[in-house]
Chain A
Amino acid sequence: MNVSLFITCLADAVYPSSVGRSTVELLERLGCNVSFPRNQTCCGQPAFNSGYQKETQKVARHMITTFEDAEWVVTPSGSCATMVQEYKKLFSDDEKWQKKAEELASKTYELTQFIVDVLGVENVGAEFHGTVTYHSSCHMTRLLGVKEAPVRLLENVSGLTLTELPFKEHCCGFGGTFAVKMMPISQQMVDEKVQHIEETKAACLVGSDLGCLMNIGGRIERTGRPVEVRHIAEILNSRKEVHT
């Protein structure tokens, strides 16, 4: 299966390579042939969520062109996958681009959604020892409708104990530009989220969206809590450490 990876701007330009590396290795292990179209940039959410329609259209056209020839597009972000689904609404008075937007939307999947729904795999053969809790991001669960896939994949990781996060449906307070535009409100939201994470006593927080993880992780680090924050691709790509 030929997969074009849409890595997202956060995993590409802000985070160290680990999330992207794990995504590629995981997909390859599951039999996919992974390519990385180098012209890719960002899905356009910063402009979209701030109300800049024309600017969003510009970025969307670039995304559509970049992935035009892809067979499948897979991205390690529920929020960016949701954004791609929104493209068709941006071109409601432009038939040509609307059709292209629909084509891209129909072949674009969030990573865990792709593994479970397209590849039909629920156990990726990963091994990770420890208790983790999972943050289900808002766009991924409510707008993209992907709730079960990440949980099922995590439950099948050998050695992993999954504890449910209380108030798991509550937003972490990221919201893109909201995190800086409405910083005092965002701070209250992320603080409550961190408190709920601590209540689980899990050593590790796992999520499927780097935006949320950057927000929660950044707050955890700033306030000096001993919780590790990992992207789900990193967990699903973990293998038993072999000491030689």
Chain B
Amino acid sequence: MSIRISNEPFDKRVEKGINDEFMRSAVSGAQDRLEGRKSDSTAELGTWEDWRDHAEEIRQHTLDNLDFYLQQFAENAAAQGGHVFFAETKEEANEYIQSVIKKKEAKKVVKAKSMVTEEIGMNEAIRELDCEVIESDLGEWILQLDDHDPPSHIVVPALHKNKDQIRETFHKKRGYSQSSDPQELGRFAREQLRKEFLSADVGITGCNFAVAESGSVSLVTNEGNARMVTALPKTQISVMGMERIVPTWEELDVLVSMLCRSAVGQKLTSYITGLTPSEADDEHAPEEFHIVIVDNGRSKILGTKYQSALQCIRCAACINVCPVYRHVGGHSYGSIYPGPIGAVLTPLLEGYENNKELPFASSLCAACTDACPVKIPLHELLLEHRRDIVEHEGGGFSEKMAMQGFAYAASHPKLFEFGSRSASPIVDRFSEKESGPGPVKLWTKIRTLPSQKDDRFRDWFAERERRKNDGENS
């Protein structure tokens, strides 16, 4: 998989999403639950807005000095025996990871959940080597068993599946014969995964935040699988997006707190893991620790009006409040990054060609902007995309004509009044019918239009003024 998860056109994906009743009830239920938990846990802090300001400042400072902190991180990790590789492209990242696997003659890789490895299509690259890749995050493992169904949420990847569907997948793929009780399903998954952990040659994780001052990688998880991935195999690889870094452990403390509360409404998740390369003869440490820092288009975003998108800490708070995501689900975005942040990020990383509907798939309600713990102005970035699409890609001939006509009329009041006066009886004709010209038709297909019937405010006001003046003069 890479960023793109579907070759179907946008309209088709949306139609499929809207008609998937099960998915929609799962998504709206999860949104309400996650948002409720987030509100409780942020209210508990009391000064959430101050925390947001602080977190934003940390992210902005880090991005403004990204070259410095990346170098500091790389030097500190290397000084302790870590192997740091900067990959400009996804191909470079995959080639490096393949080279490690080849050198180790690995036959099995076990991995923790990571969006950046999805983004670069790492699993496919590893499979080319005749090496198995086992997802160990429960949600990701379910999707992997289910013929690589793509994730639909960045924190809860199998959000669109229910326990009966999961039972069915376990039964078909692993001969599971017990009930769809979540505890039984969970126990079965544990048993299955335990064997994988013990037999894997290489463990691969993502990286929630790298810590520059110590050359460490930190992981935020709930299931404990990342601990197994990093403790059992002799060789470990952490793959990180180049922007996922903090200067010191102090900033990590703030951002981890923001991440846990925003993502799942917890003060902290069950496991917060800090991993530092170690040369000492430590039997608990991996023999080799590789860190792959992935650019894959990120440095092109730095210094542009879209830079704030790189502040993202992948908490999905924007996704959990998005009314569009609520009704169309994650797969409709056609990207591993769904929701508002996906609609901003996907066109930046992948271009507009396949993604030009995404910035328009928003009512600009700004719930995302309000929810973001690091204050990315998401709805404003969607507007920036719209401007760039109109300017560089052309917004479509008829829309362009309409907008130029609108701007001309709206800056020429007589024409505006004439135009709206002539339009009114025409619109009135269509107000009750499912018809009308162009956009009117798309409106009246599902809603009625108000009808003025010669009762227009500016006439009433003029008439009233006239009478007032007459009264004064008489």
Contact = CB atoms under 8 A, between A and B. Distances in A.
A55 B404 contact: yes
Interface in A39-59: 39-42, 44, 46-56, 58-59
Given A169-B367, A189-B327, A189-B363, A46 B452 contact: no
B361 A185 contact: yes
Given A17-B459, A36-B458, A221-B448, A142 B370 contact: yes
B410 interface: yes
A24 B464 CA distance: 11
B413 A39 contact: yes
B307 to A, nearest CB: 16
Interface in A13-34: 13-21, 24
Contacts of B349: none
Contacts of B324: 182, 185, 189
Contact of B460 (A17, A186, A214): A17
B383 A142 contact: no
Given A139-B366, A180-B443, A59 B386 contact: no
Of A24, A52, A54, A143, the most chain B CB neighbours within 10 A belong to A52
Nearest to B390: A51
A51 B363 contact: no
A17 B463 CA distance: 12
A105 B423 CA distance: 30
Nearest to B363: A175
Given A52-B403, A138-B367, A36 B447 contact: no
Contacts of B387: 51-53
B409 interface: yes
Contact of A183 (B323, B416, B446, B449): B446
A43 to B, nearest CB: 9
Closest 6 pairs (CB-CB, A-B):
A175-B363, A218-B447, A51-B386, A20-B457, A55-B407, A13-B420
16 contacts: A7-B457, A15-B450, A15-B457, A20-B460, A41-B410, A52-B400, A53-B391, A138-B365, A173-B323, A175-B362, A185-B18, A185-B328, A187-B446, A214-B449, A218-B449, A221-B447
Interface of B: 14-15, 18, 323-324, 327-328, 360-367, 369-370, 383, 385-391, 395, 399-400, 403-404, 406-411, 413, 416, 420-421, 423-424, 427, 439, 442-443, 445-453, 455-462
